[in-house]
């Protein structure tokens, strides 16, 4: 399941522990954000217990967008142990997201 969070909650999440997460930076008016949502929803179910999935509306959280230099939507932040290991802008198919998950976020490359 994907949790909708705000900037303060995200900061807390990143600072409090070594979280491994995918953050979907979106807006309600972005058509590619709408197309990406079911892809991330499917992945969140497949990766439950391994990676946390969150989404943050950049219109509602402009300070977040500035600090993390979110210039295009959607933008996906890949976070391992509280640190951004990859940042991708634009729609991504499930396979491309899984490739980043396997290569940069998980300890083993055996998850499909």
Please identify every residue annotated as catalytic.
Answer: 30, 33
Rounded distance between C-alpha atoms, residue 55 and residue 4, angstroms: 5
- What residues contact residue 84 under an 8 Å CB cut-off, 6+ apart? 68, 77, 78
Contact 24, 53 (CB under 8 A): yes
């Amino acid at each position: 399941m994907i949790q909708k969070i705000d900037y303060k909650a995200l900061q807390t999440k990143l600072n409090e522990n070594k979280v491994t997460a995918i953050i979907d930076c979106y807006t309600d008016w972005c058509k590619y954000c709408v197309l990406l949502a079911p892809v991330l929803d499917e992945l969140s179910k497949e990766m439950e217990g391994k990676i946390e999935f969150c989404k943050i509306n950049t219109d509602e959280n402009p300070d977040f967008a500035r600090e993390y230099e979110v210039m295009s939507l959607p933008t996906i932040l890949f976070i391992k142990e509280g640190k951004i290991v990859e940042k991708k802008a634009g729609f991504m198919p499930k396979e491309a997201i899984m490739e980043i998950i396997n290569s940069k976020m998980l300890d083993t490359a055996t998850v499909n």
